[in-house]
């Protein structure tokens, strides 16, 4: 006669350090780095009036993945006390204690260092701008404690690939940079850095900032109840009942600035087709978030990389 007693299950093996590190940098959630990648690549194509070359394309592709991953490490360290009280984030490696604070920061520093090595293959101006980008990436996680709409800070950080892309294309080799710096006089070095990024780049950066405000407000809407309990500041809380119309407004402003800035540089038929597809996606986002349901808001956030890809494709086919 068989024993009906069920044998106890053996405990699941602890994940390897590599598995924990991949979880730490959200390796299985590429939507995060795609949100950074598409506007940076679009800026490269615009700055170069077409394909910017394999070297710059790879630098920005790999650099985006590395810096987003480093940012996740800093973010999880900064938010570890808050994340304990949010169901969606309670099991993150740092929050759950499976990866230590110093260990996570070392991983982030190593990733940022490799990204910096890639930047070193570009030019002097881009190297200088990269320090500003790094500073923004470090500051953002702490903005959630002091700024009523920290998504705006994230928007600047997530948009910084745009001026860096223009700088990488326009900056020129070392000898040209210092030749330009000499012509600018007493403040030659900093003037040469500043003039490596045209007004168009800053305008597109503002456009991208509004896109970040849109999708990160959707993201904040997912955790609004938990954030209210723990005292976190987010745009979803600040906007209150105006959150849904604000998100749609952010999308429209972003697309409007892209269109105004590029209309005389792109094929109008291609851009018009791109806008039609993009506006259809905005309408779908409204459908997903209008009831403020967590699942709908999270789905809307996760779909945003397709909107970024749509704009990028309009640039590639239109310039």
Q: pLDDT tens digit string along 205-241?
A: 999 999 999 999 999 899 888 778 777 788 889 999 9
Mean pLDDT in residue range 175-189: 60
Mean pLDDT in residue range 128-154: 85
Contact 161, 39 (CB under 8 A): yes
pLDDT at 2: 46
- How far apart are alpha carbons 220 and 234 in whole angstroms? 6
- How far apart are alpha carbons 64 and 308 in whole angstroms? 14
Contact 219, 164 (CB under 8 A): no
- How far apart are alpha carbons 233 and 213 in whole angstroms? 14
The reply to whether the predicted model has a pTM over 0.85 is: yes
Contact 68, 33 (CB under 8 A): yes
Among residues 289, 210, 296, 295, the alpha carbon closest in space to that of 245 is found at 289
- How far apart are alpha carbons 221 and 205 in whole angstroms? 24
Identify the band that residue 42 occupies on the pLDDT scale cut at 50, 70 and 90: very high
- How far apart are alpha carbons 176 and 95 in whole angstroms? 48
- How far apart are alpha carbons 61 and 238 in whole angstroms? 34
- How far apart are alpha carbons 112 and 168 in whole angstroms? 18
- How far apart are alpha carbons 248 and 218 in whole angstroms? 10
CATH number for the segment(s) 17-317: 1.10.357.140
- How far apart are alpha carbons 270 and 314 in whole angstroms? 6
pLDDT tens figures, 246-265: 999 999 999 999 999 999 99
Residue 22 has pLDDT above 60, yes or no: yes
- How far apart are alpha carbons 287 and 267 in whole angstroms? 31
């Amino acid at each position: 006669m068989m024993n009906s007693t069920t044998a106890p299950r053996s405990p699941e093996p602890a994940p390897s350090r590599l598995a924990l590190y991949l979880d730490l940098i959200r390796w299985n959630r590429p939507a995060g780095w795609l949100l950074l990648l598409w506007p940076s690549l679009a800026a490269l194509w615009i700055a170069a009036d077409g394909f910017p070359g394999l070297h710059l394309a790879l630098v920005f592709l790999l650099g985006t993945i590395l810096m987003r991953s480093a940012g996740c490490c800093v973010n999880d360290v900064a938010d570890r006390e808050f994340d304990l009280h949010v169901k969606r984030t309670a099991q993150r490696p740092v929050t759950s204690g499976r990866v230590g604070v110093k260990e996570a920061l070392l991983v982030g520093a190593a990733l940022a260092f490799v990204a910096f090595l890639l930047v070193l293959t570009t030019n002097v101006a881009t190297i200088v701008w990269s320090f500003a980008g790094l500073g923004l990436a470090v500051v953002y996680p702490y903005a959630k404690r002091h700024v009523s709409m920290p998504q705006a800070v994230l928007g600047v950080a997530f948009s910084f690939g745009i001026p860096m892309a223009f700088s990488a294309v326009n900056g020129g080799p070392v000898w040209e940079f210092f030749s330009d710096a000499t012509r600018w006089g007493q403040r030659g070095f900093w003037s040469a850095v500043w003039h490596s990024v045209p007004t168009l780049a800053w305008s597109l950066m503002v456009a991208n900032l509004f896109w970040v405000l849109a999708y990160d407000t959707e993201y904040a809407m997912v955790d609004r109840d938990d954030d209210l309990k723990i005292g976190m500041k987010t745009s979803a809380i600040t906007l209150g009942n105006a959150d849904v119309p604000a998100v749609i407004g952010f999308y429209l402003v972003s697309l409007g600035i892209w269109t105004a800035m590029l209309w005389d540089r792109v094929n109008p038929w291609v851009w018009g087709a791109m806008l039609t597809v993009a506006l259809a996606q905005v309408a779908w986002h409204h459908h997903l978030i209008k009831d403020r349901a967590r699942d709908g808001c999270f789905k809307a956030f996760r779909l945003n990389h397709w909107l970024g890809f749509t704009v990028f494709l309009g640039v590639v086919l239109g310039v």
